[in-house]
């Protein structure tokens, strides 16, 4: 198992929602790539990054509460829009809380 936090790159609108406290769950398709990464990861901490910026001053650190799975029908509407053309029907949901003083 890897002790490093999982780094998740986000679209700016979702990063802003997290920063403002409106979003506390990050979804990823349950495809082999993500399942493999999550199995190797320590499942305690994530780092949320806006886009693919090189400056890490905007990174948000969060503690993971729990991880679960959703089927497409149960996803929130704003998430369904993003995954409407997905070939996968299962999604990984990472529930988290931002570290103190962020957001």
pLDDT in tens, 63-95: 999 999 999 999 999 889 888 888 889 999 999
DSSP 51-88: TT-S-GGG-EEEEEEEEEEEEGGGS-HHHHHHTTT-S-
Please report the domains of the chain, with CATH numbers, ordered by start residue.
6-98 (2.30.130.30)
Residue-wise pLDDT for 17-73, tens only, equals 999 999 999 999 999 999 999 888 878 999 999 998 777 888 999 999 999 999 999
């Amino acid at each position: 198992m890897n002790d490093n936090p999982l780094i998740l790159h986000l679209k700016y609108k979702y990063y802003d929602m997290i920063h403002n406290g409106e979003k506390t769950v990050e979804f990823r398709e349950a495809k082999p790539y993500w399942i493999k990464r999550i199995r190797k990861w320590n499942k305690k901490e994530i780092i949320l990054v806006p886009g693919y910026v090189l400056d890490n001053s905007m990174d948000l650190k969060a503690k993971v509460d729990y991880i679960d799975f959703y089927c497409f029908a149960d996803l929130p509407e704003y998430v369904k829009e993003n995954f409407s053309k997905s070939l996968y029907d299962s999604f990984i949901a990472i529930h988290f809380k931002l570290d103190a003083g962020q957001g």
